[in-house]
Amino acid sequence: MPDNDLFCEIRACFYEKDKNKDLLDKIKVRRNRNENEKIDLQRLCLRLTLTLLPVIEYSNKIK
């Protein structure tokens, strides 16, 4: 039968490892979400630019 203190220490190490892994996974998910939001924002800006380009050209012709 293993010593209870040793068993508790081993279990605590695995708990810390799992907790750290969970934190790293959350950070990765958050980082991916930020990257996706940045890409979406770039697409939105491009779409907005392409939408406004004819309006800008038309206003320049009127001047």
What 3-state DSSP class applies to 3? coil
Each residue's pLDDT tens digit in the chain (63 positions)?
456 777 788 788 888 888 888 888 888 888 888 888 888 888 888 888 888 878 777 777 776
Question: With 0-12 CB in 10 A as exposed, 13-18 as middle and 19+ as buried, what is 21?
Answer: exposed
pTM: 0.47
How far is residue 24 from each of residues 10, 34, 42, 55, 61, measured CA to CA in Å?
Answer: 21, 15, 27, 47, 55
**CA 21 to CA 59: how far, in whole Å?**
56
